[in-house]
Structure 1
């Protein structure tokens, strides 16, 4: 395949991903409108909007299209109420600090600029809600775009990357990606940041990953990718090149980038401490203000939502564990699949490469469709032994390279040959931590949306659907799972019934 045809193929796939992303949002929004027109909401308090504590009464001004305004305001349910309220009034109460500021800031900016002319027609709160919906649906389409680009670099197969991206477009947490939640912005920032990290654009990647910490608290975990990269680069500088100066520079750069990713979350905690603790007497201070390490976020999660280690392990929560079981099962299968594929790589954290012969004995790994390099654990039973040998000989010089970052010169996977198993390790380690947190610490039913931005889930799902041995049965199960949760989520969530 020529460079030109490869570029055309990637452009074609990119357009397909964008079309699927837009189409999936249109379908989901249509389902929401359908269910809301057929079913009465369980809780009708969504439209209640007291005046801001700062005295603003903008929400009481008459509007020209009150029915449209009412329809938008009534659709603001569950956590969306908090995000819209914060965008309108700021952080007024202690529990509102559980919702980080990236989404409210973006909503406020859009409502004051792009959608400001609509305020006389539908009112400020409806404009804030509309801004949130447009923001998150647009961010979702961009996240799907970046997932394809990232997957094309990692998987070395544009078809598999396309399939993984389409699966993301129809993921079981789709209702949250089209609502006023953090899922879309977090997915965009995290997947986009990882894409630029794989490209070698470290400064851009650090900025994107830092924004994750402004969207969700678990965004700080993305510093692990920088730490993993730094660990391998410093090892190479110290023990391969034996250059102390370069080693020190690599360690310093990695530390600064990691701190930069932590900074948004830490700064927000400091902001909460200043607003809630500074200036008051000792008797007026909240308990967390007096703690040795005053973390407002941890206190709120424990105090208002009873989040904590094993706190959710109760008989009455069994239905929620059942609700979360599909995504947790898929995540566990994903982890087992990749660890079994390259056990030596995972045990050594990438410092010990698996023997190529062992890899081929464990699984017949294909050449990527877009490159003469192997894909990430997607079997192909139709390859001949001679072709395996030729492919292995062509790959050997590149496999010895010890740089963690893929760093293609262009977006196309064809220019990033020579997959190194170490590149998948931090993705799986991150997923392991997320699964453990979701199962043992958090409200387990949120696992569906909490894990939905993890790329390995879609890579493994793409593998299952591409494998001749598995695609018939398990492929249908995955699609049925996604479709049923989309239907169930759009029905329950939009009408203020508990979902996840």
Structure 2
């Protein structure tokens, strides 16, 4: 099964990189050419065959900021707005770059290789996570293997498309998120008659591995902070069952450590670096002697430089961006309904909460089209698609789909159209971002 998934992954990625190669070399935005002229030693290096027809095209949108941070002398951003791009990802890539090689193309090739390895490993971890979720007994083991394979294939066909051909930070969070969810799933006791429990022997995988993975995923990508809802859910369930000591030693401890790490990254480090000289957000301290401000540096950057905030994106000129996100909005919402109302599953209840929270936050507070790029750190919609594809494996059923199977069929067709299109748009530095 793993060999088959590996072959599919190589095939899918090869097709995507071929599309990048075939995309015209003239890019819509000049950011790439300006960056290359600044960081490269000679025009001949920029215009060499493979750089011109392939590698230069991978430096589009956010990858421009990532490569700039990765190749800087100290690995730190030069300007304030560049702090919005994961410092953890920058640090991780720099670990694999030879110290005596300061070529931007060497850094780019290493980053792309790491991107693909993490993307592939995330799909493999997702396969085993899915098997764990859906194999509650021996009779379901074959069904679990089938749905696990389809889930991993759908993950490889993510709507993030062209973004993941470059050096974006998402695959690092995918990997940590899936390992963290898997570790938690192996630790909890699925309830019988409502008795949710976490055996003491699973303290390490739950309170260390899951907590560490969720924390690293969140430090890398802020949307992954929603994974902390797992700890809130578990805290509520253990408290309801009057398992107060376990509630403290498992979810409360794990959630507190995760929260402390995020507080350190989002508030303490920026305040120590910029304040009080910076002014503006630095002056919004909740208490005069404490580093906690009303607005974190990340929130300030998102609001000030990219116009992120409640309903700020709800303008007529952004209607196309909402349309780009509609397929994923629909599939995420319907997957949460499917696993809570149609085929309710207790061990997916927390993930349903997280999925709904993501949709609400992105639709009302963020640039909505990024949902296509970040949604895959949550596997609920992939499980919904895979489950329906397995249950309607008869070709006759898919010829005349009914009910939610129409949604599944539409979404698969949309992916077949969207992935190559978005890959080409990305390589040409064209919207959507």
Q: Same fold (TM over 0.5)?
A: yes
Cα RMSD over matched residues?
2.4
Deviations 1:283-309 (A, max 9, x none): xx2310001224111111110110111
TM-score when scaled to structure 2?
Answer: 0.82
Select 1:461's aligned residue among 385, 399, 408.
385
User: Is the 2:86–2:220 Cα contact (8 Å) retained in structure 1?
Assistant: yes
**Corresponding residue of 2:367:** 443
2-side partners of 1:66 and 1:317: how far apart?
36
2-side partners of 1:99 and 1:305: how far apart?
13
1-side partners of 2:5 and 2:279: how far apart?
49
**Corresponding residue of 1:411:** none
User: Is the 1:187–1:453 Cα contact (8 Å) retained in structure 2?
Assistant: yes
User: Is the 1:21–1:144 Cα contact (8 Å) retained in structure 2?
Assistant: no
Select 2:282's aligned residue among 289, 293, 303.
289
Question: 1:487, CA displacement in angstroms?
Answer: 0.9
Matched ranges for 1:232-247 at <5 A? 232-238=237-243, 247=244
Question: 1:58, CA displacement in angstroms?
Answer: 7.5
User: Is the 2:232–2:255 Cα contact (8 Å) retained in structure 1?
Assistant: yes
2-side partners of 1:61 and 1:79: how far apart?
24
Structure 1's unaligned 5+ residue stretches are: 1-12, 52-56, 239-246, 342-376, 378-419
Change (3 A) 1:27 1:147: same
Moved more, 166-175 or 19-28: 19-28
Matched ranges for 1:82-481 at <5 A? 82-89=65-72, 90-112=76-98, 119=101, 124-156=103-135, 157-200=144-187, 201-202=205-206, 203-238=208-243, 247-269=244-266, 270-278=268-276, 280=277, 285-292=278-285, 293=293, 294-341=295-342, 377=343, 421-468=345-392, 471-472=398-399, 473=401, 474=406, 475-481=408-414
User: Is the 2:327–2:411 Cα contact (8 Å) retained in structure 1?
Assistant: no
Select 1:25's aligned residue among 13, 32, 40.
13
Select 2:58's aligned residue among 68, 72, 75.
75
Select 1:496's aligned residue among 422, 429, 433.
429
2-side partners of 1:462 and 1:162: how far apart?
9
TM-score when scaled to structure 1?
Answer: 0.72
User: Is the 1:213–1:264 Cα contact (8 Å) retained in structure 2?
Assistant: no
Change (3 A) 1:470 1:185: farther
2-side partners of 1:145 and 1:287: how far apart?
45
Question: 1:66, CA displacement in angstroms?
Answer: 6.2
User: Is the 2:31–2:64 Cα contact (8 Å) retained in structure 1?
Assistant: no
Change (3 A) 1:136 1:264: farther
1-side partners of 2:347 and 2:378: how far apart?
15
2-side partners of 1:287 and 1:476: how far apart?
50
1-side partners of 2:7 and 2:233: how far apart?
35
Question: 1:237, CA displacement in angstroms?
Answer: 4.5
1-side partners of 2:259 and 2:41: how far apart?
40
User: Is the 2:40–2:46 Cα contact (8 Å) retained in structure 1?
Assistant: no
Deviations 1:427-472 (A, max 9, x none): 1100000000111111111111121222011111112222338633
Change (3 A) 1:62 1:485: closer
Deviations 1:24-53 (A, max 9, x none): 222211221122xx35211243032389xx
Q: Secondary structure at the match of 1:452?
A: helix
